[in-house]
Amino acid sequence: MSEHRQRRTDVIQHVAFEHAGVIADVVRDRGHEIRLFQAGVDDLTLVASDPADLLVVLGGPIGVYETEAYPWLEVEINVIRQRLEAELPMLGACLGAQLIAAAAGARVYPGTREIGWAPITPTPAGLSSPLAALASADWEVLHWHGDTFDLPAGAELLASTDATPHQAYAIGKQVLALQFHPEVKPGDIETWLIGHTVELSKAGIDPRTIRRRTAEIGATVASAGELMFARWMEEAGL
């Protein structure tokens, strides 16, 4: 019977080290199996033709607007657009949040680079949303982006920074999009430092600074992120 169907979360991943992290832990705890898609390799049309209960779109170092260099981005945006139109639950992190914004008709463009641990400022809506779980980490999160986006029509702004006004937004109860990375487990930070070594060097950022701060607060932020995602899934009926 349908009520006994295995619940499923589809995850679109763009680079191997930017994986679902604590999101994967939460969805498994809530009885979901995970179907992983590697963007640019796997057939993303299956995400739309065989929709899961939840779609998670993760981060990556490319720009949403680089469709000529990476033509599969158009397929991914179209898949996300179909899910938005069907009002099905979706989570986006960093590039994922930008892709959702683009699929919703908003502009995505180069912004101010933010890399490393720093706080976000919640809006009143954010304070009454699942994002409130991040208060236990003093609102400090891991940033790793250079692009930004306009707020999609009908979206509710949940958090900002001075450099990036649109740090988190919701579309109803079914979409949560985050410019930052609360999904990262502290034990995985070294893969980020290795994978983004060229970007860190160009930005003049010492990886030891990020490594040191991760050791101080990474576990606290990951726990807060886990609670936030669990609360959001509960509100979304997942």
**Contacts of residue 1, Cβ cutoff 8 Å, sequence gap at least 6:** none
Considering 14, 19, 181, 196, which one is annotated as catalytic? 181
181 is catalytic: yes
Considering 94, 140, 145, 196, which one is annotated as catalytic? 94
> Which phi and psi (to 5°) does residue 96 adopt?
-60, -40
Considering 114, 140, 183, 226, which one is annotated as catalytic? 183
**CA angle at residue 123 from 85 to 147, to 5 degrees?**
60
66 is catalytic: no
94 is catalytic: yes
Pick the closest to residue 178 from 224, 154, 143 (CA basis): 143
Burial class (CB in 10 A: 0-12, 13-18, 19+), 212: exposed
Helices (H) and strands (E) in the chain, counts: 8, 10
Beta strands in the chain (DSSP E): 7-13, 32-38, 54-57, 90-93, 108-119, 121-122, 140-149, 156-160, 168-171, 175-178
Distance (Å, whole) CA 97 – CA 163 = 17
Catalytic residue ranges: 94, 181, 183
